Amino acid sequence: MALIMETPVDALIKDEHETPKWKKSTVVFVLGGPGSGKGTQCANLVKHFSYTHFSAGDLLRAEIKSGSQFGAMIQSMIVDGRIVPSEITVKLLCKAMEESGDDKFLIDGFPRNEENRIVFENVAKIEPAFVLFFDCPEDELERRIMSRNQGREDDNIETIKKRFKVFVESTLPIISYYESKGKLRKINAAKPSEEVFEAVKVLFAS
């Protein structure tokens, strides 16, 4: 009889409370192309509406920095050029929501693809209240990213075009999915930041 080894991923998935507080939370996914202003608008929402803001990428980086066994596993995957399994990202999101003690969350830049979405629904077993989509034309996104260039390696025109292509191929199907469920809230993100937030405020005030 073969012995089945439990991996750190299995342990992470199994490590869940009977009735996690976040199961009754309000979750809003925040999506938009690179340079669409997601971070700025999330900061505004945290300040005005007392949401807690999580970025999936930030949580992965924080886990690596923590020196935990999961952090080491994530680091080795990234070094090897492998994609971190959606289960790990989702479990980190659930853990962060549980530890925050809050009940209103903005999850920024997630789900990035269809697999992310399916795993979130299967593991977290909650659906977003709605999806906030910052819609902005590619040429405007390019202009913004190039003008904010502060020495970041990924702020060059070739990399920007690649990032936008990935966004269109992976994330736009997610946006279409939530639109079909009546859960999409689209914002014209090409306008000045203050005007964009005025439109966002209307959604959250209601």
User: Was 68 annotated as part of a binding site?
Assistant: no
User: Was 84 annotated as part of a binding site?
Assistant: yes
User: Was 144 annotated as part of a binding site?
Assistant: no
User: Was 117 annotated as part of a binding site?
Assistant: no
- C-alpha span between 161 and 26 (Å, rounded): 34
User: Was 67 annotated as part of a binding site?
Assistant: no
User: Was 116 annotated as part of a binding site?
Assistant: yes
Nearest by Cα to 106 from 38, 199, 184, 166? 38
User: Tokens 């995957």 — which residue?
Assistant: 77
User: Was 110 annotated as part of a binding site?
Assistant: yes
User: Was 82 annotated as part of a binding site?
Assistant: yes
User: Was 7 annotated as part of a binding site?
Assistant: no
User: Was 61 annotated as part of a binding site?
Assistant: yes
DSSP class per residue in 26-85: EEEEEEE-TTSSHHHHHHHHHHHH--EEEEHHHHHHHHHHHT-HHHHHHHHHHHTTPPPP
User: Was 36 annotated as part of a binding site?
Assistant: yes
- C-alpha span between 193 and 181 (Å, rounded): 28
User: Was 145 annotated as part of a binding site?
Assistant: no
User: Was 32 annotated as part of a binding site?
Assistant: no
Distinct helix (H) and strand (E) counts, the chain: 10, 5
Annotated binding site for CMP: 116
Q: Which residues are annotated as a binding site for ATP?
A: 35-40, 148, 191
Binding residues for a ribonucleoside 5'-phosphate: 61, 82-84, 109-112, 152, 163
Sequence ranges of the binding site: 35-40, 61, 82-84, 109-112, 116, 148, 152, 163, 191
